[in-house]
């Protein structure tokens, strides 16, 4: 029995050298805290509200461009997007193509006018602008409610993403495993943490503490400064991974040739029938490779604990890997001496099963969709979604309120476009190579980024490099969390408390309440994600699409059309929200899972925009217009 457990432990063992990776990663985190401390020192000398939430509107070209880019380059970019590339192949180049013009559309559509109006209104949040523009507290309250609702979903996904990255970085360290054992000893005493994996729980606490502390202490300027640093870390990390990945697969041409020969894997189940009863409990780690009796190779999809005196295991979920390669075969566990491993069921891909070439040609393989991952109609829809959806994100609007002048805006558009090109196209190449370097990651595709970073660094004989490369996705997650955490807290403090509950609140009271609310929202997100959602990327798309549907057209109409009314702007925001929720509810009813319904095979964001625009125009044409004084304030004297 002891030899069997040792054999399984050896088969599931991962690379070492993580102490060096941890040191390099820790150095990075020290720089983050140093920037937050310095930002806090500067902020303490200035007026709190404008400085905390907008950095006193003093962002130059590099600060504005990199904070804008880093916030949009979120955990979805470094975890969800690589997972899609790994799963579906080169077709993701079409899926992300629209992102290259996001800076042009996002900043060109609203930025200049938004900055002008925010200064006239002395606004520091998006609801501030809408409240001043329409002279209505109700408009601001509706905007705050919608923003807080969708932003909270985004926070959940990012908190999980940061925790997964930390767990991947730390999992081989002895002191971390000791800490995990300690967490496991007490987590069962609390109802909320009983079913939470101890390593995930520990990393969630570490991540949450880091981001809540430096966001609460530093405010907007800390977010901007750390975004600038993290934006540079992200692009450097991607460039390093690109060089390492291409060198280790023998170049792009060779990687594409190998990718063209690959067939999609199958999910399935196995049972293990022991030749003699187990005398002790047996643990098999998630990700362990194993030979079956019919000479196929499978990978265990979940951590398995087999109780003593179990002649045959229950069915275990596995990934069945076609053509796994000699390296995988050599490290796969062979249990023929102890029992028989039998495949009991298989679930082939709906599109691409058993076919070569599906990873290098559209529409790409798909587990569930007969039409493949990306049809032509959906490719066009996503092109529009990325370009215009970014313009409707309140997080981007806040940054557009903070740049210094038009010269900064124009130069930033070019800089951000170059930045996105340097991030997203290399990511496609890197994670197409990842299929060659790390087969079988379909069991946990969201972890492909940190897992590949570690593999590339260890293969290159530089394990310390893992910490610096993993800092890139961690930076992406942190830059998103700090921005959205700050936005939600500003909505609660400025738009609910200061404007509705206590308009005469002192600067000191607003300051301390902001600290408290930021921390409370962070803690609430931690509690909500103790048992994380199954569909991380779906949550990100749900939140970003919902925010764009609620705010893009209403904000555009508010900035450029004097004729929109108070009732019209509220109808537009609620119309976009209702359309978005209806499509997701329909998707859940049809698919029995958290999945949106794509009516006419068109990205749902377009239907959100149509619904939002329709209700805003219809209601504005049938309700009382605004007072002339409000229109004169933001559009000049009427003739």
Per-residue pLDDT tens digits for 82-113: 988 999 999 999 988 888 888 888 778 888 89
CA angle at 54 for the pair 53 and 55, rounded to the nearest 5°: 110
pLDDT above 60: residue 45 = no
Which pLDDT band, with edges at 50, 70 and 90, does 177 fall under?
confident
pLDDT at 403: 65
Which pLDDT band, with edges at 50, 70 and 90, does 292 fall under?
very high
CA–CA separation, 202 vs 470, rounded Å?
A: 18
pLDDT above 90: residue 535 = no
pLDDT above 80: residue 532 = no
Which pLDDT band, with edges at 50, 70 and 90, does 262 fall under?
very high
449-474 confidence digits (pLDDT tens): 888 998 999 899 888 888 888 876 77
pLDDT at 501: 78
CA–CA separation, 611 vs 572, rounded Å?
A: 8
Which has the higher per-residue pLDDT, 540 or 462?
462
- Mean pLDDT within 361-378: 88
- Mean pLDDT within 331-344: 90
Which has the higher per-residue pLDDT, 316 or 157?
316
Structure tokens at 484: 């959205």
216-233 confidence digits (pLDDT tens): 665 544 455 566 666 677
User: The whole model's pTM is what?
Assistant: 0.83
Which has the higher per-residue pLDDT, 306 or 579?
579
pLDDT at 608: 94
DSSP state of 594: S
pLDDT above 80: residue 160 = yes
436-445 confidence digits (pLDDT tens): 999 999 988 8
pLDDT at 228: 65
Dihedral in degrees, nearest 10, Cα atoms 276, 278, 282, 286: 30
pLDDT at 437: 95
pLDDT above 90: residue 574 = yes
Q: Which of 168-182, 350-364, 612-626 is predicted least confidently? A: 168-182
pLDDT at 109: 86
CA–CA separation, 273 vs 515, rounded Å?
A: 58
CA angle at 192 for the pair 187 and 194, rounded to the nearest 5°: 45
Element (H, E) at 291: strand 289-291
pLDDT at 48: 41
Q: Mean pLDDT score of the chain, rounded to an integer?
A: 82
Structure tokens at 589: 């009813």
pLDDT above 80: residue 375 = yes
Structure tokens at 149: 């609702």
| Count of Cβ atoms closer than 10 Å to residue 607 Cβ | 22
pLDDT above 70: residue 15 = no
pLDDT above 50: residue 604 = yes
547-567 confidence digits (pLDDT tens): 999 999 999 999 999 999 999
pLDDT above 50: residue 47 = no
In sequence order, what are the residues at sequence separation of 6 or more whose Cβ sits closer than 8 angstroms to the Cβ of residue 197? none
CA–CA separation, 415 vs 433, rounded Å?
A: 28
pLDDT at 476: 64
CA–CA separation, 268 vs 365, rounded Å?
A: 17
pLDDT at 226: 60
pLDDT above 80: residue 41 = no
pLDDT at 344: 95
CA–CA separation, 475 vs 230, rounded Å?
A: 5
CA–CA separation, 320 vs 326, rounded Å?
A: 15
Q: Distances from the Cα of 193 to the Cαs of 170, 185, 632, in angstroms?
A: 21, 12, 56
pLDDT at 402: 66
In sequence order, what are the residues at sequence separation of 6 or more whose Cβ sits closer than 8 angstroms to the Cβ of residue 196? 187, 530, 531
């Amino acid at each position: 029995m002891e030899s069997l457990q040792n054999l399984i432990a050896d088969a599931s063992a991962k690379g070492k050298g993580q102490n060096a990776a941890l040191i390099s990663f820790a150095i990075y985190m020290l720089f983050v805290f140093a920037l937050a401390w310095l930002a806090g020192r500067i902020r303490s000398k200035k007026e709190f509200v404008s400085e905390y939430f907008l950095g006193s509107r003093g962002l130059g070209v590099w600060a504005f461009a990199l904070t804008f880019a880093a916030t949009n380059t979120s955990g979805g970019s470094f975890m969800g997007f690589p997972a899609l590339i790994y799963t579906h192949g080169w077709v993701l180049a079409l899926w992300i193509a629209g992102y290259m013009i996001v800076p042009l559309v996002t900043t060109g559509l609203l930025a200049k006018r938004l900055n002008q109006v925010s200064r006239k209104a002395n606004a520091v949040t998006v609801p501030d602008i809408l409240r001043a523009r329409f002279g209505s507290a109700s408009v601001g309250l509706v905007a705050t409610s919608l923003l807080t609702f969708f932003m909270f979903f985004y926070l959940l996904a990012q908190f999980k993403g940061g925790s997964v990255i930390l767990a991947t970085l730390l999992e081989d360290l002895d002191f971390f495993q000791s800490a995990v054992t300690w967490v496991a000893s007490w987590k069962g005493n609390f109802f909320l943490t009983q079913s939470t994996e101890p390593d995930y729980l520990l990393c969630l606490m570490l991540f949450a503490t880091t981001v809540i502390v430096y966001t609460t202490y530093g405010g907007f300027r800390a977010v901007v400064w750390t975004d600038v640093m993290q934006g540079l870390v992200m692009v450097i990390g991607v460039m390093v991974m690109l060089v390492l990945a291409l060198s280790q697969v023998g170049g792009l041409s060779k990687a594409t040739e190998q990718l063209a020969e690959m067939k999609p894997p199958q999910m399935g189940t196995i049972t293990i029938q022991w030749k003699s009863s187990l005398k002790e409990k047996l643990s098999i780690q998630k990700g362990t490779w194993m030979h079956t009796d019919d000479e196929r190779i499978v990978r265990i999809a979940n951590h398995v604990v087999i109780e003593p005196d179990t002649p045959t295991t229950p069915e275990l979920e596995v990934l069945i890997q076609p053509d796994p390669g000699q390296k995988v075969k050599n490290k796969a566990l062979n249990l023929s001496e102890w029992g028989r491993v039998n495949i009991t069921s298989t679930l082939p891909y709906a599109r691409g099963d058993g076919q070569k070439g599906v990873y290098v040609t559209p529409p790409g393989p798909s587990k569930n969709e007969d039409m493949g991952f990306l049809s032509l109609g959906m490719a066009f829809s996503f092109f529009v979604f990325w370009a215009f959806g970014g313009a409707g994100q309140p997080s981007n609007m806040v940054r557009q309120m903070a740049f210094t002048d038009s010269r900064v805006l124009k130069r930033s558009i070019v800089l951000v476009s170059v930045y996105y090109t340097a991030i997203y196209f290399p990511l496609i190449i890197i994670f197409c190579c990842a299929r060659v370097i790390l087969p079988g990651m379909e069991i946990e595709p969201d972890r492909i980024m940190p897992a590949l970073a570690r593999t590339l660094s260890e293969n290159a004989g530089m394990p310390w490099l893992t910490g610096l490369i993993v800092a890139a996705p961690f930076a992406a997650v942190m830059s998103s969390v700090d921005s959205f955490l700050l936005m939600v807290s500003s909505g609660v403090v400025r738009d609910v408390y200061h404007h509705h509950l206590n308009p005469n609140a002192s600067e000191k009271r607003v300051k301390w309440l902001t600290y408290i609310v930021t921390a409370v929202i962070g803690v609430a997100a931690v509690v909500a994600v103790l048992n994380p959602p199954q569909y991380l990327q779906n949550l990100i798309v749900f939140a970003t699409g919902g925010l764009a549907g609620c705010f893009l057209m209403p904000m555009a109409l508010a900035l450029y059309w004097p004729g929109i009314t108070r009732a019209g702007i509220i109808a537009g925001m609620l119309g976009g929200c209702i359309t978005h929720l209806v499509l997701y509810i329909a998707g859940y009813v049809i698919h029995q899972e958290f999945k949106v319904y794509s009516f006419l095979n068109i990205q749902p964001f377009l239907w959100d925009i149509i619904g939002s625009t329709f209700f805003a125009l219809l209601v504005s044409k049938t309700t009382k217009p605004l007072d002339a004084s409000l229109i004169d304030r933001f559009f000049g004297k009427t003739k």
